[in-house]
A and B are shown apart, each in its own frame.
Chain A
Amino acid sequence: MIDTDLKRTALFTEHCRLNARLVDFGGWEMPLHYGSQIEEHQRVRRDAGVFDVSHMLVIDVEGVAAREFLRRVLANDVARLTAPGKALYSCLLNEAGGILDDLIVYHLGPERYRLVVNAATAEKDLVWITGLRERFAFHSDLRARRDLAMIAVQGPEARRRFWQARETARVATEGLSVFQGTDIADMFVARTGYTGEDGLEIMVPAEDVVSLWRDLLAVGVAPCGLGARDTLRLEAGMNLYGQDMDESVTPMESGLAWTVDLTGEREFIGRQALLNAAPRERLVGLLLLDRGVLRSHQPVRTAQGEGVTTSGSFSPTLNSSIAFARVPQGVSIGDAVQVRVRDKWLAAKVVTYPFVRMGKSLL
């Protein structure tokens, strides 16, 4: 029986109505799937699916010197966000350069930013950011927006179906470029996602999300759970915090060097540590060549030494198993490696990632 101390989103009763298989995800009772996670995965690659992502936390940072504050706190530079509504992906680091979380930050307007952080790390992040505000004597407002619910509509038909469900939102959102968001009355719509497909992430007051969810289902968008969310993001080459990285590793060891802006003189938490670091490991993609399924925490044998898988699963698009693995620096794309899967060493190949883009294999 599921522990009844688990938190529930505003869409919980909808998940029950749809007979979702529910699981504990970071302290939240969330849908793993609504029947078949592979079918849900295919729906997103071919058409449109909708995910309840209300377990994630929106944190609004506004007011005096909000920009300067976030330039101090985040490893990526929010000063790069000049056009209204533009967003970027960043790590939140500690002083040792270790990753506390990964997040998306939107520039809503002058001195107004919106962060979206992971569910399991939300409390930790809030405490950390609040502590930095005190420490560096900033005075920006920090607001945890627990009044908001969030859904992600993803797939080649996602935006079109959203406009079918919400015709009045079309004009304001049609022109959004990728990684850009906008407010429309109570709704915030952004062209972002965690699947490698086109689509939107939509934040609304919690009391409005049930009707939005039902209207999307009514125009043919499939409800999709965390199972499909995981296989989709893995195919798309996207990291999962807590699995692919944590406080013990730096962005350079996690395939996230591109998210750290070390140009110029900007002081940010973790900068010094990263400049002094000599990463001995890197994150690579693996394609399993033998039959089986790669999962996390499986030993990897390479010519340069031992590594370990961080995330692994079956890829419905590739009809093979793929994984991320943290391996010694000298390992290269194309190398043959072995992975210990259920008491056997299986053959795998180091490959580039993303593994899939716009529904097609990149391998």
Chain B
Amino acid sequence: MHLPADLKYTDTHEWVRPHGDGTVTVGITWHAQDLLGDLVYVETPQLGKSFKKGEECGVVESVKAASDIYAPLSGDVIAVNQDLASSPEKINQDAYAAWMFKLKPSEPGEFNQLLDAAAYEKLIASESNS
């Protein structure tokens, strides 16, 4: 499934999985890895660091190009996926299982600004037609 309905999305191609305790898990979408091609390096955000929504917080680099990762919500980074340093290709293999980091959001109002699956699908459809 390229667009899980239970996730939220950003227009910079991150996905967000909300948890019952208010924290969220973040990764990049199937569409993002498809555009980038084989990933060779992933720079996850620093554990413990705080970011504002939309701030650059990491990098994914493929054979083809490098792409910044943006914080989908303001908050603190409470976990990072260590696996990705040695196996960046896991994102190509399963973008929704290969999470990048977990955030403890600081601005509750921001969550509803994220896109749902239908809105994200529309966005990528319009991008590929331009």
The complex places the Cα of A37 from the Cα of B38 at a distance, in Å, of 7
Contacts A1-B129, A36-B92, A342-B66; A292 near B61 (Cβ below 8 A): yes
Query: Is B64 a contact partner of A227 (Cβ separation < 8 A)?
Result: yes
Q: Is the CB of A36 within 8 A of B38?
A: yes
Query: Is B41 in contact with chain A by the CB < 8 A criterion?
Result: yes
Of the candidates B43, B59, B63, B66, which one forms a contact with A313 in the assembled complex, judged by CB atoms under 8 Å apart? B63
A293 and B66 contact, CB distance less than 8 A: yes
Provide a sorted-by-A list of 10 A–B residue pairs whose CB atoms are within 8 angstroms. Answer: A1-B128, A37-B37, A37-B38, A38-B40, A38-B63, A38-B89, A227-B63, A231-B63, A293-B63, A342-B66
Number of A-B pairs whose CB atoms are under 8 Å? 34
Residues of A within 8 A of B66 (CB): 293, 342
Question: How far, in Å, is B108 (CB) from chain A's closest CB?
Answer: 34
Q: What are the interface flags for B25-52 relative to A under an 8 Å C-beta threshold, 1 for contact and 0 otherwise?
A: 0000000000001101101000000000
In the bound complex, residues from chain A placing their C-beta under 8 Å from that of B64 are: 227
> What 6 new A-B contacts, CB under 8 Å, besides A1-B128, A36-B38?
A21-B37, A37-B37, A38-B40, A227-B37, A292-B61, A293-B66
- List the 7 closest A-B pairs by CB distance, nearest first: A38-B38, A314-B40, A314-B63, A293-B61, A36-B38, A37-B38, A291-B41
Closest Cβ–Cβ distance, residue A44 to chain B (whole Å): 15
Cα A202 to Cα B66 in complex, Å, equals 36
Contact with A along B109-125 (1 / 0, CB 8 A): 00000000000000000
Contacts of B63 in A (CB 8 A): 37-38, 227, 231, 293, 313-314
Query: Which residues does chain B contribute within 8 Å of A231, judged by CB atoms?
Result: 63
A33 within 8 A of B: yes
Minimum CB–CB distance from A95 to chain B (whole Å) comes to: 38
CA distance A1 to B130 in the complex (A): 7
A1 contacts across to B, CB distance below 8 A? 128-129
Q: Cα distance A21–B35 when bound, in Å?
A: 10
Residue of A nearest to B64 (CB): A227
CA A293 to CA B59, docked complex, whole Å:
12
Give the residues in chain B near A37, CB-CB below 8 Å: 37-38, 63
User: Binary interface profile of A, 329-357, with partner B (CB < 8 Å = 1, else 0)?
Assistant: 00000000000001000000000000000
Closest Cβ of chain B to A234, distance in Å, is 11
The distance in angstroms between the C-alpha atoms of A1 and B38, with both chains bound, is 22
Residues of B within 8 A of A33 (CB): 37
Contact residues in B for A32 (Cβ distance below 8 Å): 37
A39 (CB) vs chain B CBs: closest residue = B38
Determine if B40 and A293 form an interchain contact, defined as CB atoms under 8 angstroms apart: yes
Q: How far is the CA of A313 from the CA of B37 in the complex (A)?
A: 13
